[in-house]
C-alpha cells in the first residue's frame, strides 16, 4: 500500500526541459497577449495618421522617437511569431507535419523565422 504525501511538490520551472513545440506554443500565447496589449496604441496611431496631413506627420515624428522604436521591437516579434506559429498550427490542424520529426522541425523553423524577421525589422528601424 502506498501513502500519499500531503506536502506540496516544488517544481522548479527553470530546470524543466520543455520540448521545442511547447516553447513555440507558449511563445504563440505570449505573442498574442502582447499584440492584444499593443492593439489600442496601434489603432490610435492609425487613427491619428488618417485624420489629416498634420496627423500623419505627427505619427511620423512619434515613430522616430527612440522610446517608440524600442517599444516596436517586441511588438514586431509578437506579430512575426504569432503569424508564423499560427500558420504552423493551422497546417497541423490539416494533418500536415503532425509526425514528431516534422513537428519539431517546424517548431524550430517558426522560432528561427520569428527571431530572424525581428532582427531584419530591427536593422530596418535603426
Q: Where are the domains of the chain?
A: 20-125
With a cut of 80, say whether residue 4 has pLDDT above it: no
Q: Percent of the chain scored above 90 by pLDDT?
A: 85
With a cut of 80, say whether residue 30 has pLDDT above it: yes
Mean pLDDT for the chain?
Answer: 93
What was the pLDDT predicted at 10?
A: 83
Are the CB atoms for 4 and 58 separated by under 8 Å? no
Confidence bin at 120 (pLDDT 50/70/90): very high
pTM of the model: 0.85
Exposed, middle or buried by CB within 10 Å (0-12, 13-18, 19+), for 103? middle
Question: CA 113, CA 124: separation in Å to the nearest integer?
Answer: 16
Sign of CA dihedral 102, 107, 113, 119: negative
Q: Please state which of the ranges 15-24, 25-34, 107-116 shows the lowest mean pLDDT.
A: 15-24
Average pLDDT for 109-125:
96
With a cut of 90, say whether residue 62 has pLDDT above it: yes
Confidence bin at 1 (pLDDT 50/70/90): low
What was the pLDDT predicted at 28?
A: 97
Hey, what CATH topology would domain 20-125 get?
3 helical TM bundles of succinate and fumarate reductases (1.20.1300)
Residue 51 DSSP class: H
Amino acid at each position: 500500500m502506498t501513502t500519499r504525501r500531503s506536502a506540496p511538490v516544488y517544481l522548479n520551472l527553470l530546470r524543466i526541459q520543455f520540448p521545442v513545440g511547447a516553447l513555440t506554443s507558449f511563445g504563440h500565447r505570449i505573442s498574442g497577449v502582447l499584440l492584444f496589449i499593443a492593439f489600442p496604441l496601434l489603432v490610435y496611431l492609425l487613427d491619428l495618421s488618417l485624420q489629416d496631413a498634420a496627423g500623419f506627420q505627427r505619427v511620423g515624428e512619434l515613430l522616430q522617437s527612440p522610446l517608440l522604436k524600442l517599444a516596436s521591437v517586441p511588438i514586431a516579434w509578437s506579430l512575426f511569431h504569432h503569424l508564423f506559429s499560427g500558420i504552423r498550427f493551422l497546417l497541423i490542424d490539416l494533418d500536415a507535419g503532425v509526425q514528431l520529426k516534422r513537428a519539431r522541425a517546424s517548431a524550430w523553423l517558426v522560432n528561427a523565422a520569428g527571431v530572424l524577421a525581428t532582427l531584419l525589422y530591427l536593422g530596418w528601424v535603426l
